[in-house]
Structure 1
Amino acid sequence: MAKLKIRRNPTRRYEAVYIFDSALDDAVITEKLEKLQGLLGLAEAAELEMWGRRALAYKIGRHENGYYIISKFHAEPKVLPEFERALKLDGGVIRYLVSLLEHELGAPILSEEELAARRARSDDDDDDDED
């Protein structure tokens, strides 16, 4: 009989980039962030990087500037649709992107030395095929 693998922690690690309307006050942006974190049901506070007001790479609608924030958090996948819906409906959010962090996708995190060793082995294997 096969054993079932039970995940004790059903949460996954995500990264979200928000671009808020630069006309919003800092207090309003903070209030919106707290509301969004409440939707996620975060047990622990999200890591926030406030990049502040910056020029957009290209004009989005009438906006030329935005207030950039990067957030890293753990959440259950089932709460993301409602979270993204709230972002979509919020008039103060110009753009957003929510993604799994790279290591969550199953790709191993390798050091430069490990990468070089793998490349060398791969090159050696290619040389053997030519014979």
Structure 2
Amino acid sequence: MTHAHQYELMVIIQPEVDERQVPAYLDKFLKVITDSEGTIENVDIWGKRKFAYEIQKKHEGIYAVVNFTATSEATQEMDRQLNLSEQIMRTKVLRAEEAIAMVASEAKRAEAKAARKSAAKA
């Protein structure tokens, strides 16, 4: 078995999909991971969220975030299948370390912005 990595998948699903069906719907795609001896750590359904801008002429979608461990081959195959689905509007797969680095850099940026603001007031 090639080396497994931790990933975070963010999926945006068409707003017409029944939110109660989302976990079962995602399971079909996540089977690619579990069939190749990967593991699903967490599935977090955020529910419907408004977009900052239109995607496919829609103003909202159902967000879900999945944390899993798998090989890059299984991850690419799952992403390919998700992208073929009519119900899936967007996908983004990040390696866990990339996701952590992104959150950390966002926090640093926010800190720097707050520091600039308080310096401007002084």
Q: Normalising to structure 1: TM-score of the pair?
A: 0.66
The residue number in structure 1 matching 2:39 is 44
Shift of 1:12: 0.4
Between structure 1 and structure 2, the one with the greater Rg is 1
What is the percent sequence identity of the aligned residues?
Answer: 23
What amino acid is the match of 2:18?
Answer: D
| Inter-partner Cα distance in structure 2 for 1:29 and 1:63 | 18
Among 17, 34, 46, the alignment partner of 2:10 is 17
Which has the larger strand fraction?
2
Q: 1:91 to 1:103 in 2, by over 3 A?
A: closer
Provide Cα deviations, 1:15-73, integer angstroms capped at 9, x if missing partner: 01000011101243222211111011255333122211010111012211100111111
**Long gaps (5+) in structure 2:** 105-122
What amino acid is the match of 2:61?
Answer: G
Shift of 1:10: 2.0
Given that 2:42 and 2:66 are in contact with CA atoms closer than 8 Å, whether structure 1 keeps it comes out as: yes
Q: 1:94 to 1:78 in 2, by over 3 A?
A: same
Given that 2:40 and 2:67 are in contact with CA atoms closer than 8 Å, whether structure 1 keeps it comes out as: no
| Inter-partner Cα distance in structure 1 for 2:10 and 2:48 | 14
SS at 2:40's partner residue? coil
**Long gaps (5+) in structure 1:** 1-7, 110-131
The residue number in structure 2 matching 1:73 is 68
Given that 1:13 and 1:74 are in contact with CA atoms closer than 8 Å, whether structure 2 keeps it comes out as: yes
SS at 1:13's partner residue? strand
What amino acid is the match of 2:67?
Answer: K
Q: Normalising to structure 2: TM-score of the pair?
A: 0.70
RMSD: 2.5
Given that 1:52 and 1:67 are in contact with CA atoms closer than 8 Å, whether structure 2 keeps it comes out as: yes
